[in-house]
Amino acid sequence: MDLRERIVGAYQNQEGSYQVLAVRFAVSRAVVGKLVRQQHKQGTLRSQVHLRGRKPAIQGQLLERLRKHLAEHPDATLEERIQALGLDCAVNTMWKTLRRLGWRYKKSRREPRSKIARMSPNSVPTGTLVSSTSIPSVWSS
């Protein structure tokens, strides 16, 4: 039998107070109280290591609503998503949640490309040295 089970079993059998059981099992009084409360509230004495740390702000039903919103409005901004879902969180929180879900923001191609023309012809690679003969004589002194 595990030590946790023996401590809680002794308390349930009214073999002593928290202090008496703590001395008997060589643990602190706080440990006895924690184990009794845990058994009462959660029904288990298993280690609760997996429950430590900060919990995500967007989880459960909110996360499902966010996934649905992502599918319906893929080009919405972070602020628009927060407002549409009625969330009370920072923009950075939304950004981190989307990153966790695997979403990345890239430029949208909903609009046509810019009409600005290229500055050099396609045949001349960028960074190529220009010979003096290619400069119009109007510019030379």
Share of the chain above pLDDT 70, in %: 72
Give Cα 1 distance to the centre of its chain.
39
The pLDDT of residue 45: 87
CA neighbours closer than 13 Å in the CB half-sphere of residue 33:
5
Separation in Å, CA 60 to CA 7, 20, 64, 125: 35, 42, 7, 53
pLDDT in tens, 35-51: 999 999 888 888 877 77
Which range of 21-25, 57-61, 86-90 scores highest in mean pLDDT? It is 21-25
Better pLDDT: 114 or 8 = 8
5 alpha carbon, distance to own chain's centre: 36
Per the CB < 8 A criterion, the answer to whether 69 and 85 are in contact is yes
More confident residue, 6 or 47: 6
| pTM exceeding the 0.75 threshold for the entire prediction | no
Q: Residue 108 is encoded by which pair of tokens?
A: 């949208």
